[in-house]
């Protein structure tokens, strides 16, 4: 940590100059330009030491290495401006500090909408661990313990939980139990897990509070791995994996094997307490240097003293047929564009209305006319409900998107696209799941390209016409307006490729060989 400087900066001649620059500058625009969340006047930090030189300090969530900086969005070393006091030209120094943005202090026991991982839920009260992808019907679901959600389908789940935190049904209902793995006292368990289907797409916040986007990646738990979790009671705590081959019998008589034992590490004195059950356990190390996504390794379900016990996350995913959000969502979104009207099941008017957010739900009161077999209907409401289950099973091109992605990764230009999706998957999926304009623009742009494809060559060999380019440009423009500076920089490179794409196939645009 930088050491403190004892001088009085108010006597520094640079101080009033910095204050004047800040006062006469559009600071909001400045922050947006440099993807910073805060700015202040303080001592410049060099080599981890606080100096006696004042600077205009920009605070960013992630600080990039010098060689990776984008000149268009990098904070300049100095700013020049003309003083209104004497008309003279002045110069102020800058500094950049990595720091998380501030937020109103969240109490996980409060009623919180939309709902992130880490908050109170259920009868009995536990923790909603995070949001994951259900491969059985391609929907976003909440993950927690079976002893929090239960395993009886249809049981209503309130947030906050009812037993301790005052939640009630139906006023605080956020979804219903979808399925769970029942625990046994006569055999050996490996998981304590269940999932909940949200009532609608406005419910979920695809993050875990204070940790980051989740659940977007998994990692294999290894001995002494440093981990963290956010739970309803002890909130953000830190630990290490003391055992990755742990077998234990709980006071309740339930025996568990192939689990994780977690011991607290500084700054935490205790890993967990009652009410933390269901918390997702994450590696403290992000999936990429400077990235925000941390891989999940476990699902906390029990504790004794200061230690905790968690299921291995891969066991949980295997038992419940789950995958990470992006692994399921992006591929499924693309694959859904290929579904023909004949392959989609008839959808009752009430379900159509629910998907479009139209109330009341009686057929006579529907103010819309819509084909019940239109693939557009299946995406009108985002990633919730299970009406697409049979269509997904009948879709002969399911998995096509993953195959196309694999082909693109084999070419340098193709990797620009696949790496952009991988690096910014949390940001992109949140847009796709929550922003109707982005989703509609994506449907409009991608369906003509992939909608009739059967093989990867069908997709990659598709020659882009002027309308294709126009629709793709519109999609890029809409995403750009909502994107972080890092994503915006990648979009510029992709848009440069797009500008030269008319009359060329996707294979030619991205340098992929067609078989």
Which of 48, 80, 98 is the last residue in one of the domains? 98
Are 260 and 115 in a shared domain? Answer: yes
Are 81 and 134 in a shared domain? Answer: no
Query: Given phi > 0 = left and psi -120 to 50 = alpha, else beta, which region is 336?
Result: alpha
The range of the structural domain enclosing residue 401 comes to 325-339+395-510
pLDDT digits (tens, 9 = 90+) for 262-278: 999 999 999 999 999 99
Are 72 and 183 in a shared domain? Answer: no
Q: What is the pLDDT of residue 509?
A: 94
Are 308 and 439 in a shared domain? Answer: no
CATH of the domain at 122: 2.40.10.10
Q: What is the pLDDT of residue 67?
A: 64
DSSP-derived secondary structure for 268-280: -S-S--TT-TTPE
Tokens of residue 167, six digits: 């939640």
Which pTM value belongs to this model?
A: 0.72
DSSP H or E segment with residue 188: strand 188-189
Does 364 map to a domain? no
Contact between 161 and 125 (Cβ < 8 Å): yes
Are 292 and 199 in a shared domain? Answer: yes
Q: What is the pLDDT of residue 336?
A: 61
Q: What is the pLDDT of residue 49?
A: 85
Does 462 map to a domain? yes
CA neighbor of 370 nearest in space, from 359, 385, 355: 355
Domain total in the chain: 3
Pairing of strands 139-144, 194-198: antiparallel
DSSP H or E segment with residue 247: strand 235-249
- Cβ-Cβ contacts under 8 Å for 73 (sequence gap 6 or more): 33, 34, 35, 485, 486, 488, 489
Are 159 and 250 in a shared domain? Answer: yes
Question: Residue 247: is its pLDDT beyond 80?
Answer: yes
Please tell me which of 52-56, 121-125, 308-312 the model is most confident about, judged by mean pLDDT.
Answer: 308-312
Tokens of residue 318, six digits: 């295997």
pLDDT digits (tens, 9 = 90+) for 272-303: 999 999 999 999 999 877 778 899 999 999 99
Does 253 map to a domain? yes
Distance (Å, whole) CA 344 – CA 335 = 13
Matching residue, tokens 């999706």? 421
Are 160 and 249 in a shared domain? Answer: yes
Beta-carbon-side half-sphere exposure of residue 430 (alpha carbons within 13 Å): 17
Distance (Å, whole) CA 398 – CA 45 = 53
């Amino acid at each position: 940590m930088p050491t403190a400087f004892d001088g009085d900066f108010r006597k520094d001649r640079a101080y009033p100059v910095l204050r004047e620059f800040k006062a006469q500058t559009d600071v909001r625009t400045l922050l947006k330009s440099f993807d910073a969340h805060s700015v202040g006047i303080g001592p410049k930090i060099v080599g981890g030491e606080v100096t006696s030189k004042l600077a205009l300090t920009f605070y960013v969530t992630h600080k990039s290495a010098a060689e990776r900086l984008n000149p268009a969005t990098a904070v300049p070393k100095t700013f020049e401006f003309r003083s209104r006091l004497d008309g003279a030209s002045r110069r102020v120094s800058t500094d950049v500090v990595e720091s998380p943005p501030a937020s109103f202090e969240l109490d996980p026991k409060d009623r919180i909408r939309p709902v992130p991982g880490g908050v109170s839920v259920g009868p009995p009260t536990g923790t909603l661990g995070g949001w994951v992808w259900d491969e059985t019907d391609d929907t976003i679901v909440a993950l927690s313990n079976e002893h929090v959600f239960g395993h009886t389908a249809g049981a209503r789940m309130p947030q906050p939980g009812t037993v301790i935190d005052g939640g009630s049904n139906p006023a605080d209902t956020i979804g219903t139990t979808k399925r769970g793995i029942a625990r046994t006292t006569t055999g050996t368990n490996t998981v304590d897990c269940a999932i909940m289907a949200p009532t609608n797409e406005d419910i979920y916040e695809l993050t875990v509070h204070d940790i980051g986007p989740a659940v977007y990646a998994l990692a294999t738990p290894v001995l002494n791995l440093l981990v963290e979790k956010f739970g309803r009671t002890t909130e953000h705590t830190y630990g290490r994996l003391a055992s990755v081959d742990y077998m234990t019998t709980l006071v309740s008589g339930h025996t568990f094997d192939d689990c994780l034992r977690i011991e607290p590490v500084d700054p935490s004195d205790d890993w967990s307490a009652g009410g933390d059950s269901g918390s997702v356990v994450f590696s403290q190390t992000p999936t990429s240097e400077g990235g925000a996504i941390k891989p999940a390794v476990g699902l906390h379900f029990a504790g004794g003293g200061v230690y905790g016990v968690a299921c291995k996350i891969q066991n949980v995913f295997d038992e419940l047929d789950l995958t990470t959000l992006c692994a399921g969502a992006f591929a499924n979104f693309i694959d859904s564009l290929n579904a023909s009207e004949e392959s989609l099941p008839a959808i009752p008017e009430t379900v159509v209305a629910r998907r479009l957010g139209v109330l009341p739900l009686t057929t006579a009161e529907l103010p819309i006319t819509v084909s019940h077999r239109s693939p557009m209907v299946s995406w009108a409401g985002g990633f919730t409900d299970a009406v697409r289950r049979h269509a997904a099973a009948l879709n002969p091109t399911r998995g096509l998107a993953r195959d196309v992605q694999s082909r693109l990764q084999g070419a340098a230009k193709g990797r620009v696209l696949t790496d952009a999706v991988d690096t910014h998957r949390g940001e992109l999926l949140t847009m796709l799941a929550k922003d109707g304009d982005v989703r509609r623009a994506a449907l409009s742009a991608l369906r003509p390209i992939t909608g009739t494809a059967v093989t990867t060559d069908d997709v990659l060999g598709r020659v882009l016409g002027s309308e294709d380019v126009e629709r793709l440009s519109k999609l890029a423009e809409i995403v750009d307006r909502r994107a972080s500076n890092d994503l915006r920089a990648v979009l510029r490179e992709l848009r440069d490729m797009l500008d030269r794409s008319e009359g060329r196939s996707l294979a030619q645009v991205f340098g992929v060989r067609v078989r």
